[in-house]
Amino acid sequence: MRALREVQEDLRGGRTTVAAVAQMALDRIAAAAQLNAVVCARPEATLSDAASVDAHRQAGETLPLAGLTLIVKDNIAQQGWPLTCASRILGDFISPYDATAVQRLRDAGAVVVGRANMDEFGMGSSTEFSRFGSARNPHDPTRVAGGSSGGSAAAVAAGLCHAALGTDTGGSVRQPAAFCGVYGLKPTYGRVSRYGLVAFASSLDQIGVLAGCPEELLAVFRAMAGKDPRDETSEEAPLPDDDLSINLSGLKIGLPREYYGEGLSPEIRRDIERLQERLRSLGADVKEISLSHTRYAIPAYYIVANAEASSNLARYDGVRYGRRAAQYETLEQLYVRSRSEGFGDEVKRRIMLGTYALSAGYYEAYYARAQKVRRLIRDEFLAAFADVDVMLTPTTPMPAFKLGEKLDDPLAMYLSDVFTTPASLAGIPALSIPIGKTAEGLPIAAQLLGPHFSEGLLLKTAKYIELNCGFGQ
């Protein structure tokens, strides 16, 4: 897609309309069907929304996101559009209401051009667990786009839209952003309202943004972040300003050694180390630090997330909405058959693990303990941020893997989240930025971490890196 800034100049100059921009996006989506990134498009609705934005502009209203085309992950509610979470169990459910984030973006003039493919209910790291089939990586269609927001990342990477909404519980915005070579932000927990985000793990979920450049990501973030009375866990905090300039000298950048151990792909290691050197030479204070609790993040995450998920997914029972089993004789059969037929295997695995972790006699040993470990991980981050301003880590241990490569080994799939889950547990903001390519042309990324509510600092640092560190797409 053409840069939003240029589109908005053309809009102001009367050389284009939002409707024309939206139509271009719809054409590109149709032409890119083989990526399987977009699973639902409603051209009439999209063009009608676009016309409405044009009318508001004619009337003299300033809409900060007019001209921005947006794709929404299929687990975020939008009134009148299907809401499937890539699961059969939701059948042909149409959402009766808007997620707050979507409503705010539409109010700011953004136009939704489609809904993105994903791993079922956000559970996966490859967008291969989807009722719509796998999404493909635009850089190499034999490889995964990442997950669970694979469709969102692929769409942005393929230029089908300016920005996309994804959701990040343990890395599901950042990892696909890394695999597809785009920017992906997981905001501070509580920054963006979860009202309308189909819950996977309530204490971890956040709506995140994927975009092709820091400016456009920031614009979307600013329009949708902020306290929502419909979400008690949302927080009031000042928005980052829209100026992305930063004076790097003296910026303290921590490198947690636990993220640079074995198992990191050599090409990723090479590119990050090159970046570290470049930043040092430009005046940043780059130093090694230690976050010793890092290795407990994955087990703590999977216990907390699966436990909360087992409860959040109880409502999908075929009784009120979605798909109900065709044959049943008793209530129990209605439940068992609807859920067995409707949920994919990965979802069932996690529900079972989560139910077990909460069951009588095990709560203390698993969920309660995992929450305590989580507290320690968070405290460790906060203590470290007393000494550094941001941290720089890889986003993933490896670049995009081949379709089907990790399907037989769920645990191997989980381990690809090793660098992203700690920030989720701590609730701190995290931004994945593209920094290079492998020899095969696969995107390489790094991750910036900051204290709570420091999205502005992360995006400024990302912009600086984009301008001065010689990597870019």
Partner 1 sequence: MNYIPVIGLEVHAQLSTRSKAFCSCATDYGAPPNSQTCPICQGMPGVLPVLNREMAGLAMRLALAVGSKIRRVSQFARKNYFYPDLPKGYQISQYDQPLAEGGALEFDHDGAEKSVRIRRIHLEEDAGKSFHLDAGSTLVDLNRCGVPLVEIVSEPDLTSPQEARAYLNGLKRLLEHLQICSGDMEKGALRCDANVSLQDPASGEFGTATEVKNLNSFRSVQRALEYEVFRQAAVLTAGGKVVRETLLWDEAADEARPMRRKEAAHDYRYFPEPDLVLLEICEARLEEVRANLPELPRRRAKRFVRQYGIHPAQAEILCDQAGLADYYEAVIAAGGSALHSANLMLVDVLRHLKERGISIEEFALSPPMLAGLAKLMGEGILSAGLAREVFQEMLTTGHDAAQIVQRRGISLVGDEDAILPLIGQVLDENPSEVARYLSGETKLSRFFMGRLMKLMGGQGDPAKISLLLDRELQKRKA
Q: Six-digit token pair at 412?
A: 């191997």
Cβ distance to partner 1 smaller for residue 78 or 276 = 78
Take residue 164 and report the two structure tokens written for it: 């996309």
Which member of 23, 52, 233, 473 binds partner 1 (CB under 8 A)? Answer: 233
Per CB under 8 A, the list member of 311, 337, 369, 384 interacting with partner 1 is 311
Side-chain-facing half-sphere of 468: CA atoms under 13 Å: 19
Q: Which of 73, 186, 460, 463 is catalytic?
A: 73
User: Applying CB under 8 A, which of residues 5, 359, 404, 440 lies at the interface with partner 1?
Assistant: 359
Cβ closer to partner 1: 237 or 407?
237
Our CB check for partner 1 shows the closer of 75 and 149 to be 75
Q: Which of 20, 40, 289, 358 binds partner 1 (CB under 8 A)?
A: 358
Residues of this chain, 63-102, that bind partner 1 according to CB under 8 A: 75-77, 83, 85, 90, 93, 95-97, 99
Question: Minimum distance from CB of 452 to partner 1 (Å)?
Answer: 16
76 or 388: CB nearest partner 1:
76
Q: Where are the beta strands (DSSP E) in 212-284?
A: 252-256
- Rounded to a whole number of angstroms, the distance between the first and last alpha carbons of the chain is 14
d(CA 191, CA 236): 8
In the list 123, 158, 163, 307, the residue contacting partner 1 (rule: CB under 8 A) is: 307
In which element (H, E) is residue 392 found? strand 390-394
Is 406 catalytic? The answer is no
Kindly state whether residue 229 participates in binding partner 1, applying the rule CB under 8 A: yes
Single out the residue of 282, 283, 298, 285 nearest to residue 255, CA to CA: 285
- Torsion, Cα 234 464 156 219, to 10 degrees, reads 40
Backbone angles phi, psi at 113, to 5 degrees: -105, -5
Q: Give the span between the Cα atoms of 129 and 348, in whole angstroms.
A: 12
The answer to the question of residue 168 lying near partner 1 (CB under 8 A) is: no
Amino acid occupying residue 241 = D
Quick check: bond before 148 cis, omega within 30? yes
Q: How far is the CB of 80 from partner 1 (least distance, A)?
A: 14
Concatenate the DSSP letters of all residues of 169-213 into one string: SSSTTHHHHHHHTSEEEEPPTTSS--TTBPPSSTTT-EEEEEESS
Q: Would you count residue 369 as binding partner 1 (CB under 8 A)? A: no
Q: State the minimum distance, in angstroms, from the CB of residue 336 to partner 1.
A: 10
Nearest CB to partner 1, comparing residues 170 and 256: 170
Decide if residue 231 touches partner 1 (CB under 8 A): yes
Give the contact letters, 188-207, x = binds to partner 1 (CB under 8 A), - = no.
------xxxxxx--xx----
Catalytic status, residue 95: no
Least spacing, CB of residue 156 vs partner 1, in Å: 23
Q: Which residues of 430-456 are buried (b: 16+ CB within 10 A; e: fewer)?
A: bbbbbbbbbeeebbbbbbbbbbbbbbb
Nearer to partner 1, 104 or 162 (CB): 104
The interaxial angle of helices 214-224 and 4-12, nearest 10 deg, is 70
Q: Report in angstroms how near the CB of residue 133 gets to partner 1 at its nearest.
A: 22
Annotated catalytic residue within 130, 134, 148, 432? 148
State the minimum distance, in angstroms, from the CB of residue 77 to partner 1.
5
Q: Which of 134, 172, 424, 454 is catalytic?
A: 172
CB 172, min distance to partner 1, A: 16
How many of the chain's residues bind partner 1 (CB under 8 A)?
44
Rounded CA-CA distance 312/85 in Å is: 13
Q: How many Å separate Cα 130 from the centre of its chain?
A: 16
Give backbone dihedrals phi and psi of 133, rounded to 5 degrees, phi first.
90, 170
Tell which one of 2, 5, 15, 230 touches partner 1 (CB under 8 A). Answer: 230
Query: Which of 360, 386, 411, 439 touches partner 1 by CB under 8 A?
Result: 360
Least distance in angstroms from the C-beta of 99 to partner 1: 6
Half-sphere exposure (Cβ direction) of 360: Cα atoms closer than 13 Å: 0
β-bridge pairing 430-437 and 443-449: antiparallel
Check if 203 is active-site.
Answer: no
User: Which positions from 331 to 350 touch partner 1 by CB under 8 A, shown as an x/- string?
Assistant: x---x---------------
* Interacting residues with partner 1 between 29 and 58 (CB under 8 A): none
Considering beta carbons, is residue 3 or 319 the nearer one to partner 1? Answer: 319
Write down the least CB distance from residue 187 to partner 1, Å: 17
Sole binder of partner 1 in the list 259, 367, 385, 453 (CB under 8 A) = 367
* Token representation of residue 327: 């044959």
326 in contact with partner 1 (CB under 8 A):
no
Residue 159 carries which side chain, given as an amino acid letter?
G
The continuous run of DSSP H or E covering 269 comes out as helix 266-281
CA-CA-CA-CA torsion sign (181, 186, 191, 196): positive
C-alpha distance from residue 161 to each of 100, 116, 460 (Å): 21, 11, 23
Q: What residues line the site for partner 1 (CB under 8 A)?
A: 75-77, 83, 85, 90, 93, 95-97, 99, 194-199, 202-203, 229-233, 307-308, 310-311, 313-317, 319-321, 331, 335, 355, 358-360, 363, 367
Residues that are catalytic:
73, 148, 172
